[in-house]
Amino acid sequence: MSRIYYTDAYCRAFEARVVRAFDHEGRPAVVLDRTAFYPTSGGQPFDAGVLGAVAVVDVVDVEGDVVHVLSSPLAEGAAVHGEIDWGRRFDHMQQHTGQHVLSAALVHVCQAPTVSFHLGGDTSTIDLGAVVSPADAERAVDEANRIVWEDREVAVRFASGDEARALPLRKEPARQGELRLIEVPQFDLSACGGTHVARTGAIGLIAVTGTERFKGGLRLTFVCGGRALRTLRQLRDSVAGSVRVLSVLPPELPAAVERLQAEGKGLRKTIAGLQAALAVHEADRLLAAAGAAGGRRVITEIYEDWDAVGLKTIASSLIARDPVAVALVAGGPAATVVVACAPSLGLDAGAVVRQLADRFGGRGGGRPDMAQAGGLSGHTAEIAAAAHALLD
């Protein structure tokens, strides 16, 4: 069986014959006498496409055979016209060749070897065996793009294991026997079975989009070619959206967000102060209303927009002044309830709150005189009524 992509990565369509048809893990599969389909390996995903009218849904390397997993079976001996999904393949070629150039640049500039590579659906990653500073990593990216823009040849040749041992390969080859070597002249030489563009210029652009510490080294996330353009568009759209909302220029975005956060913090402080001041008046009003209702000892009230701190301020003010039991409920996407009981009543606010949390969901607890629960689901009026029944 011959692998067309070994010598011609640009072959998109080919004629072949089915030499073996079988089931692979419960799905129909074939081995062909020749194929341009790349099987998942070396960090690069498989090629999708068709064999005649049948879709190729996975391609795997099984003991030296390229196994094409199909949407429906093909007969042994059948002649087929194969076509690979060229958009997907060319994208993989850009990312994979970009990885060679970037990994080599990281060795040249930072002496940081690549220990693993993964080509993902949106971005790719390389893991470095050493930590490099952001500035050094950027210098390596500059160097990699210089090689891209010089449009150097990406040559493919084959060498025996003995020949290869004498060559300055970037990485010790993982396999024995004849090796396929990928060379960017005067820059990189490595053994690889993947698919690559013919000249570095076709990589277009190599851009690192993020870095993170990883197992004593550094993981770089990067995009090349078409993905770099797509990433730039996404960034442009999100920056344009933020700039419109905040009415600032793009370089001023971080400062504008910080300013908003500080303003939010200040406002929360102001609200807490206002709630504390208002709590005293609310306590007066509730006690007056309870007295007017014939000396009612259980007070319930709903404050849709208040927070737990505000509710507790009102509740403590109430039980400090009169022997009452209080349940105050605030709304929002998840309700909050504060229960307070004057000690002389001998009630347990904590137990009441736990019963409410059992019934309405949410979490809470507290002391016999003051307890609260949050995250309750249900109408505030319903929660207030249930609390009233428990306290009465």
Footprint of Zn ion on this chain (CB under 5 A)? Answer: 192, 194
- Residue recorded with tokens 């079975």: 193
Q: What angle is formed at CA 241 by the lines to CA 271 and CA 246, rounded to 5 degrees?
A: 40
Closer Cβ to Zn ion, 97 or 380, answer by number = 97
Closer Cβ to Zn ion, 220 or 349, answer by number = 220
Closer Cβ to Zn ion, 35 or 99, answer by number = 99
**Cβ atoms within 10 Å, residue 278:** 15
What crossing angle do the helices spanning 253-292 and 225-246 adopt, rounded to 10°?
50
Q: What is the DSSP letter of 26?
A: T
In sequence order, what are the residues at sequence separation of 6 or more whose Cβ sits closer than 8 angstroms to the Cβ of residue 137? 106, 110, 208, 211, 218, 220
Closer Cβ to Zn ion, 9 or 109, answer by number = 9
- Least distance from Zn ion to the Cβ atom of residue 147, Å: 15
- Least distance from Zn ion to the Cβ atom of residue 89, Å: 14
Closer Cβ to Zn ion, 79 or 174, answer by number = 174
* First-to-final CA distance of the chain: 85
- Least distance from Zn ion to the Cβ atom of residue 136, Å: 24
- Least distance from Zn ion to the Cβ atom of residue 182, Å: 5
Q: Nearest Cα to 99, choosing from 224, 248, 199?
A: 224
- Listing DSSP states for 305-319 in one string gives T--HHHHHHHHHHHH
- Least distance from Zn ion to the Cβ atom of residue 117, Å: 9
- Least distance from Zn ion to the Cβ atom of residue 196, Å: 6
- How do strand 65-70 and strand 370-376 relate by DSSP bridges? unpaired
- Least distance from Zn ion to the Cβ atom of residue 69, Å: 23
Closer Cβ to Zn ion, 192 or 391, answer by number = 192
- Residue recorded with tokens 């996404």: 234
Closer Cβ to Zn ion, 194 or 364, answer by number = 194
Torsion angles phi and psi, residue 224, rounded to 5 = -130, 160
What are the counts of helices (DSSP H) followed by strands (DSSP E) for the chain? 9, 20
Q: How far apart are CA 71 and CA 49, in angstroms?
A: 11
- Least distance from Zn ion to the Cβ atom of residue 47, Å: 15
Residue nearest Zn ion (C-beta atom): 192
Closer Cβ to Zn ion, 96 or 312, answer by number = 96
In sequence order, what are the residues at sequence separation of 6 or more whose Cβ sits closer than 8 angstroms to the Cβ of residue 44? 38, 92, 96, 119, 194, 195
Q: How far apart are CA 68 and CA 47, in angstroms?
A: 10
